[in-house]
Structure 1
Amino acid sequence: MVGINWKKLFRLNGFDAQDSREERSRLLGQLGDEEEMESAFPAKEVTKVALRLRRLIEECIPCELEEDLITKPNSKIITKKVVLAAKEAGGDEYGACVLYALLVNKRWFKLQAKKEPWDADMHEVRATATEVIAKEIIETEDDQNKLFMECLLKRYSVVVDDEQTQPANVIERAVDLHALQVTGSSGYQKCVSYLWRGWLIQDENDASKFVEYAQIDNPRYLSHLDPDLMRAPVYQNATQVCFSLLYLALFSQVIATVNPSGEIDVVEIILYIFTFGFLADEFAKFWKIGSNYIGFWNVFNLILYALLTTSLVMRFIALSHDSGLEKRKQYNELSYNFLAFSAPMFWGRLLLYLDSFTFFGSMLVVLKVMMKESLIFFALLGVIIIGFFQAFMGMDNTDNEIEDTYFILSSMANALMQSPDFSGFDNFAPPFGIILYYVFTFVVMVVLLNILIALYNSAYEDITSESNDEYMALFAQKTMQFVRAPDENVFIAPLNLIELFCLIIPLEWWMPKDMYAKLNDVVMAVAYSPLLLVAAWWETKSAKKVKGNRMRGQDDDDEEEEWEQMSGDFMEEEGWDKKVASVKPNVVDDTATVAVQELREEVKELKELLLKVVEKK
């Protein structure tokens, strides 16, 4: 795809996986050969703001404290005065970069916790404090336009090694740092929602700035029939889901209609065209990015595409033999076996595109954390399996002949699957073989599997307690994958084949840039025409709501709920508001604090009475 800065996209996404230098780059970025963006404020001034905030947090948390003391709503550590002081760290001129500076401090404290394990808990609490302060600032900001355009979406830099770092905004940094307190705040999620819908877009002339979608309140249908509309994350995601469902439908049709003669029908041709488009997309990204691009879903997809490619190769080999020969039949059956073998992966692949839905997104977050926790189990298991396998192979090699390799591997795999077979080891290097197999079975089934269960249970409890925040962070991350490095011409696989063979190869290298851009718009309009017609209708419907909200002086995404339909001043007229105010409990201060405050008032009154008595005498 033309125009994507893939190196920037995946560096900003945190794919750098080396030591502290790369961890720092994950937050700060590095200047490279990419198109440079300007920081909204001088990097030196932003760094000063970050250092002021660091001093504030260090003084507020001088020692190790319980995290609950920081995160609870009525915290006595992160008070309103502390939050107000944090807001003033940038002064009147540089106040908009305070949120960014807080996230810079979060990474600093995280990095310091790794370098100073003796004070790790204190630094972790300080890192949490930066999130709590940032969340409070976001949720107490009344000016939504200032919050979005100045605080969350403007890009800032700091100074590292006497160089200005690559500018980035708070939306990106909160995703990179997995700052759940920030990504779960109302203002942040509202901004992400605007980005997801395409209501806030990057300026065509300056990618470092975000502007409002010009037709956001235009109810005319034709005004939204623009191929640029497909650049909105919501429509890109919908397109990916549609293509994935179509891909699955093609596969299901191919599996259900076996061709005994080995001929390739039209549905199979379309299926393999789709596969080639997805493969081309994967390899294009890998070519531009390198090994940093590789992740779980990439490997998963590549295995799936490799199985389909193998199936196609087997089909070609079958077709190379004359009809009716046994060889043709064998290779044809082998081709369908590879195809059928990939069915579970086809259905599992849907999860990659359905994570924007709450149910699937929350489930994927749980699975992701549980898989990370299981790495400890697999590390221990690998060491133990290698050790026992070497012992069994040594016993088998006592007569200088290795004959039972398959038996050893299958027996160890059965033990791992909780189905051990002890009878086969009765005559295997007696009595050492059977004893060693008993020990291996005990270690794997009793010790390691229970460790795995405990890890899964701990991970599940930890993640479910913050499942909503984790899902919101996942949604923000998905949105930023579409927004932070946008494509000039959005051709989602397998439509990338149209771009590759009809535009890039024959035209891009010689056609003037303006003419090439117009041609891309025309091709996009034709390719996406069915989806574009639906998207334009949806935008028209949305624009009517936005226009109505603006006429009433409400936010663009405001919706009137049932309980708001009869809201008015009747409660105040009836005196109900006073009644509620007189009985509502004080949930900010605890009972002891309230009692002390009342005692102070009484002592104050007593002092005033004593002064009056003394004056009369």
Structure 2
Amino acid sequence: MAGTVAREPNHARSLILHCVFLSFECRYTVLRKSWTIASQYTVFSMGYWDDIFSSGSRTHHRRLPERRRLLPTYGADQATSVSPAKEVTKVALRLKYQIEQVIPFEIDESSITKPNSRIITDDVIQTAKQAGGDDHRACVLYCLLVCLRWFKLQAGAELWESDLHLRRALACEVIAKRIIESEEDQESLMMDALLKRYTIFLDGEPTTPANVIERAVDLHALRVIGSSGYQKCIKYLWHGWFCQEEGNPTNFVPYHDKDNTDFRIHFHPDRMRTPLYQNACQIFFSLIYLILYTIVINTVNATGDLDVVEGILYVMTLSYICDELTKLWKVGRDYFDFWNAFNSTLYIILAVSFFLRVAALTRSSSVNDEQRRTLNQLSYNFLAMAGPMFWMRMMLYLDSFKFFGAMFVVLRVMMKESLIFFALLFVIIIGFFQAFYGMAEADGELALTRGIIQGMANSVMQSPDFGVFEDLAFPFGLVLYYLFNFIVMIVLLNILIALYNSAYEDIAGNAIDEYMAIFALKTMQFVRAPDENVFIPPFNLLEIFFLVLPFEWWMPREYYAKLNEVIMGIIYSPLLLIIATIETREARRIRWNRRQGEEDDDVVQEWEGVAEEVDFDVDDTWRQAVRETSSDPNAENCTLEIIQLREQIKELTAVVHAFIEKKNMAERTREESSSNQADVE
């Protein structure tokens, strides 16, 4: 009886699970049929739109680099290394040993970096290439970056030899750059060496796979980033000419339709995953966001009611807040940096303004209510306070331009250097404030606290106010305030100026490489996007409320991806028209370059066009003349002087030989004349 009672709940549970399974199976069947009908009657079936509803081989190489995440969303997408971790680690250790032998002691930086270096010679480069052998040759660049990180860690651990280890780290960058620039097969360089992921063996297990492109950005390896092959790869990623292989996120394949002149081929929502178009779209919506704010702040509603423009502004603010929270949740704390903190502050101010407005509206329906008017005024004050941040926010989206990019590097470094100043200032202010507060409390003058705070703030702004401190525990308060002004205005502010000058000198002399590093970082931020579906704010609200919440939790992943592509195609259709037009014109240029035997990204410069127009070609005579009069750029100054001295010695020797020969001939002539005269006599 007990067994029967025990089996009845199990039987009922099995029956319930069976019914649930049948219901889901019926739902999937209906969904599959609905997708089939939609694929037959959709009005957006242009180009590859029919591929959205199929998983055939036609879409095998159509995955763009923005679609595959370097930080995956799904656990099944975790990337794997293409080479065994232990073998890659051995290659890195071989290279570390080589660099330690090549640079056994501290030497000048110029001796390592100059092109005709006697330290980093062609033989050293060739030996480094052979560190991986024939099987692991492509991982040499990645291993050099591993060594770069090791030497920097060693420099921090062994301070007494930090300069030596930093020179070795610099040698890693120089060797990597020369290997990249000496490679003739550019496609193999980009596909096998720069974009493939590798991992090393650390703490008993493989590390997270990474490629050279992202490791160079993370390590801020400017010489590697500034190499021609690296920049070419970044350009291909930026334009979406490289896509990640379907089913294998570690492998990149070329975007084969980049030379296709068919307009319909490029009218596809996948192209919105290209970093170039995402950046342009972000700039466009940021300008709209700024215009909306300008309209709102210049047309204040006396009644305090929310109008349409304010509603759109706050909706866009909500979309940006959701975007920041989503990325922070998926990426983690590594996502949070200066610009994220800046944007978060702006969004918090706008959120406070919105909540104050809502509180005012719910307080009373009467326009003349005093509490409502106070809350409305406070709301507008918060909104107005966000004005400078709105305009400064535009700088975040303009760093892809060279002029702004180099300037932002300087500003970012200056802000980092300011941390030292503000840390010292905070400690000093706390100490002096405690002293002033203690004097005020002893004199029973706590009402002076506000004046003390204001006076100290004025001193930081180089506008001291001595009136409050003249009567504060005289003469102690006044003497202490003089001392505070001396420390802040003379010492700390000059330290800040010196830090700013140092930061500017360090960056201004290397502005081009710093800009290329920022551009590479921006490209990798798009490639590292934590979500494969590109819904740029404010479109991310559509994704959250109409896709994620109602469908993602139960719909099969394959159908959910297709649904996302359909929605993306609809909302981005105006932009896709522009993209298809641009890429069709670009495809014609690529075809022309291939007919001329040039690279796909080659651009005809002015001198090249002129040479073709006048049918100019360097003849053998001119080539020989130039070769004979050109000096050897690989030779050092002392070598050139020795060569010149050798030539002078040769000329002097020739003159001496000529003089001796002339003298001998004169003596022989004299002897012959003497013998002839003797014979005559």
The two structures have a TM-score, normalised by structure 2, of 0.82
Between Structure 1 and Structure 2, how many residues are aligned? 581
Q: Given the superposition, is the C-alpha separation of residues 298 and 6 from structure 1 closer, same or farther in structure 2, using an over 3 Å criterion?
A: farther
Q: SS at the partner of 2:346? A: helix
Name 1:368's counterpart in structure 2: 412
1:581 aligns with 2:623: no
How far 1:70 sits from its partner (Å)? 0.7
Cα distance in 1, alignment partners of residues 396 and 156 from structure 2: 32
Find 1:402's aligned residue among 446, 459, 462. 446
How far 1:544 sits from its partner (Å)? 0.9
Map of 1:31-110 to 2, 5 A cutoff?
Answer: 35-110=77-152
Name 2:285's counterpart in structure 1: 243
1:144 aligns with 2:186: yes
1:317 aligns with 2:368: no
- The one-letter code sitting in structure 2 at the alignment partner of 1:439 is L
1:348 aligns with 2:392: yes
Cα distance in 2, alignment partners of residues 554 and 407 from structure 1: 72
State the percentage of identical aligned residues: 56
How far 1:405 sits from its partner (Å)? 1.5
Do the aligned partners of 2:425 and 2:492 also contact (CA within 8 Å) in 1? Answer: yes
Q: Given the superposition, is the C-alpha separation of residues 398 and 468 from structure 1 closer, same or farther in structure 2, using an over 3 Å criterion?
A: same
Do the aligned partners of 2:112 and 2:119 also contact (CA within 8 Å) in 1? Answer: yes
Map of 1:498-517 to 2, 5 A cutoff?
Answer: 498-517=542-561
Cα distance in 2, alignment partners of residues 574 and 310 from structure 1: 76
Name 1:193's counterpart in structure 2: 235
How far 1:381 sits from its partner (Å)? 1.1
Name 1:478's counterpart in structure 2: 522
Q: SS at the partner of 1:201? A: strand
Find 1:263's aligned residue among 300, 305, 328. 305
1:418 aligns with 2:462: yes
**Residue range with higher mean Cα deviation, 368-377 or 137-146:** 368-377
How far 1:548 sits from its partner (Å)? 1.2
1:205 aligns with 2:268: no
Do the aligned partners of 2:67 and 2:273 also contact (CA within 8 Å) in 1? Answer: no
C-alpha distance after superposition, 1:23-53 (max 9, x if no partner): xxxxxxxxx9674322111111111111111
Find 1:593's aligned residue among 613, 620, 639. 639
Name 2:321's counterpart in structure 1: 279
- The one-letter code sitting in structure 2 at the alignment partner of 1:557 is D
**Residue range with higher mean Cα deviation, 196-205 or 180-189:** 196-205
How far 1:187 sits from its partner (Å)? 0.8
1:538 aligns with 2:578: no
Q: SS at the partner of 1:205? A: coil
1:180 aligns with 2:222: yes
Q: SS at the partner of 1:270? A: helix
The two structures have a TM-score, normalised by structure 1, of 0.90
Do the aligned partners of 2:418 and 2:496 also contact (CA within 8 Å) in 1? Answer: yes
Cα distance in 2, alignment partners of residues 4 and 556 from structure 1: 23
Cα distance in 2, alignment partners of residues 424 and 348 from structure 1: 36
**Residue range with higher mean Cα deviation, 44-53 or 462-471:** 44-53
Cα distance in 2, alignment partners of residues 603 and 189 from structure 1: 48
1:521 aligns with 2:584: no
C-alpha distance after superposition, 1:132-188 (max 9, x if no partner): 000001111110111110110111111111211111110010000000000011110
C-alpha distance after superposition, 1:255-274 (max 9, x if no partner): 12111111111111111110
Cα distance in 2, alignment partners of residues 557 and 7 from structure 1: 25
Find 1:8's aligned residue among 61, 65, 71. 71
Q: Structure 1: which 5+ runs fail to align?
A: 11-31, 605-617
Q: SS at the partner of 1:211? A: strand
1:217 aligns with 2:259: yes
Cα distance in 2, alignment partners of residues 38 and 337 from structure 1: 53
**Residue range with higher mean Cα deviation, 309-318 or 235-244:** 309-318
How far 1:585 sits from its partner (Å)? 2.5
Q: Given the superposition, is the C-alpha separation of residues 471 and 34 from structure 1 closer, same or farther in structure 2, using an over 3 Å criterion?
A: farther
**Residue range with higher mean Cα deviation, 569-578 or 281-290:** 569-578
Do the aligned partners of 1:36 and 1:166 also contact (CA within 8 Å) in 2? Answer: no
- The one-letter code sitting in structure 1 at the alignment partner of 2:279 is N
Cα distance in 1, alignment partners of residues 379 and 107 from structure 2: 62
Q: Given the superposition, is the C-alpha separation of residues 570 and 325 from structure 1 closer, same or farther in structure 2, using an over 3 Å criterion?
A: closer
- The one-letter code sitting in structure 2 at the alignment partner of 1:484 is R
Do the aligned partners of 2:330 and 2:530 also contact (CA within 8 Å) in 1? Answer: no
Cα distance in 2, alignment partners of residues 368 and 314 from structure 1: 34
Q: SS at the partner of 1:511? A: coil
Q: SS at the partner of 1:394? A: helix
Q: Given the superposition, is the C-alpha separation of residues 601 and 172 from structure 1 closer, same or farther in structure 2, using an over 3 Å criterion?
A: farther
Do the aligned partners of 1:571 and 1:577 also contact (CA within 8 Å) in 2? Answer: no
How far 1:567 sits from its partner (Å)? 3.8
How far 1:289 sits from its partner (Å)? 4.2
Q: Given the superposition, is the C-alpha separation of residues 194 and 6 from structure 1 closer, same or farther in structure 2, using an over 3 Å criterion?
A: closer
Do the aligned partners of 1:198 and 1:213 also contact (CA within 8 Å) in 2? Answer: yes
Q: Given the superposition, is the C-alpha separation of residues 521 and 152 from structure 1 closer, same or farther in structure 2, using an over 3 Å criterion?
A: same
How far 1:296 sits from its partner (Å)? 1.4
Name 2:48's counterpart in structure 1: none
Q: Given the superposition, is the C-alpha separation of residues 566 and 426 from structure 1 closer, same or farther in structure 2, using an over 3 Å criterion?
A: closer
Q: SS at the partner of 2:447? A: coil
How far 1:8 sits from its partner (Å)? 3.4
Map of 1:377-392 to 2, 5 A cutoff?
Answer: 377-392=421-436
Q: Structure 2: which 5+ runs fail to align?
A: 1-65, 651-681
Do the aligned partners of 1:175 and 1:476 also contact (CA within 8 Å) in 2? Answer: yes
1:463 aligns with 2:507: yes
Q: SS at the partner of 2:342? A: helix
1:230 aligns with 2:272: yes
**Residue range with higher mean Cα deviation, 64-73 or 406-415:** 64-73
Find 2:195's aligned residue among 153, 177, 189. 153
Do the aligned partners of 1:6 and 1:289 also contact (CA within 8 Å) in 2? Answer: no
**Residue range with higher mean Cα deviation, 76-85 or 514-523:** 514-523
Name 2:154's counterpart in structure 1: 112
Q: CA RMSD in A?
A: 2.2
Cα distance in 2, alignment partners of residues 463 and 425 from structure 1: 43
Cα distance in 1, alignment partners of residues 642 and 135 from structure 2: 40
1:559 aligns with 2:603: yes
How far 1:60 sits from its partner (Å)? 0.7
Q: Given the superposition, is the C-alpha separation of residues 290 and 90 from structure 1 closer, same or farther in structure 2, using an over 3 Å criterion?
A: closer
Cα distance in 1, alignment partners of residues 459 and 507 from structure 2: 31
Name 1:608's counterpart in structure 2: none
Cα distance in 2, alignment partners of residues 592 and 456 from structure 1: 40
